[in-house]
């Protein structure tokens, strides 16, 4: 991961290419799971990386690039969702707090549909940290930076999301 803030345009461009190569795929996967539409996800990711490029000079030299990029992508996707009122997610958190379901084309389709239906019932403020934790693999500190809330706020939202998920899943059985 890059260590220092670029000072010249060439260094900034090189840093951007490095960040893009390292984070494009994971961020695309996150945004795709959020929007459930490949074209919209591609547009959002392109817009997010454009915003990141423009803001790269203003970024603190010791910043957490991963959390910063996820925050830009999250905010860009939220803007798109506010306009479209469309959201669908595919994370699952077991009661012990460990990720229990990771997206895979080989996963049981029926289970994925059930999980998605339960998650669709969760308010966005609880789905966002759940997705960032269980699918994107971000730490609670990184999620706090991405969502602009405290670390204890992240932990509380994850706990509540897990409880809501278990309660909603139990009703569906």
Q: Which CATH number fits domain 1-88: 1.10.1740.10, 3.40.47.10, 3.40.50.720, 3.60.40.10?
A: 1.10.1740.10
Question: What is the predicted pLDDT for the residue at 88?
Answer: 38
11-39 pLDDT per residue, tens: 889 999 999 999 999 999 888 888 878 99
- Which fold is adopted by the domain 91-173? Arc Repressor Mutant, subunit A (1.10.10)
150-161 pLDDT per residue, tens: 999 999 999 999
Question: What is the predicted pLDDT for the residue at 66?
Answer: 92
Report the C-alpha gap between 31 and 76 in whole angstroms. Answer: 9
Q: Which of 65, 30, 59, 58 is nearest to 44 (CA)?
A: 30
**pTM of the predicted structure, to 2 decimals:** 0.61
DSSP code at position 40: H
Helices (H), 65-150: 65-84, 109-120, 124-134, 140-147
Handedness of CA 137, 166, 33, 122 (dihedral sign): negative
Please state the domain extents for the chain.
Answer: 1-88, 91-173
Contacts of 57 (CB under 8 A, 6+ apart): 5, 6, 12
Judged by DSSP in three states, 122 sits in: coil
Report the C-alpha gap between 170 and 29 in whole angstroms. Answer: 28
- pLDDT band of 5, cuts 50, 70, 90: low
Helix H or strand E encompassing 35: helix 9-35
**Is the backbone of residue 63 left (phi > 0), alpha (psi -120 to 50) or beta?**
beta
Domains 1-88 and 91-173 in one fold: no
46-93 pLDDT per residue, tens: 999 999 999 998 887 778 899 999 999 999 988 887 766 533 333 444
């Amino acid at each position: 991961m890059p260590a220092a803030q670029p000072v010249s345009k060439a260094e900034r461009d090189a840093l951007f290419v490095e960040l893009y190569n390292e984070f494009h795929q994971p961020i695309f996967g996150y945004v795709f799971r959020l929007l459930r539409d490949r074209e919209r996800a591609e547009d959002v990711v392109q817009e997010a990386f454009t915003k990141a490029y423009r803001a790269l000079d203003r970024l603190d030299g010791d910043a957490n690039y991963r959390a910063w990029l996820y925050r830009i992508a999250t905010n860009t996707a939220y803007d798109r969702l506010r306009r479209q009122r469309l959201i669908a997610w595919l994370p699952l958190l077991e009661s012990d707090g460990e990720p229990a379901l990771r997206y895979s084309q080989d996963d049981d389709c029926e289970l994925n549909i059930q999980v998605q239906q339960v998650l669709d019932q969760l308010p966005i403020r609880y789905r966002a940290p759940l997705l960032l934790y269980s699918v994107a693999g971000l730490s609670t500190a990184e999620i706090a930076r991405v969502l602009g809330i405290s670390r204890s706020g992240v932990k509380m939202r994850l706990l509540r999301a897990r409880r809501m998920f278990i309660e909603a899943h139990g009703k569906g059985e």
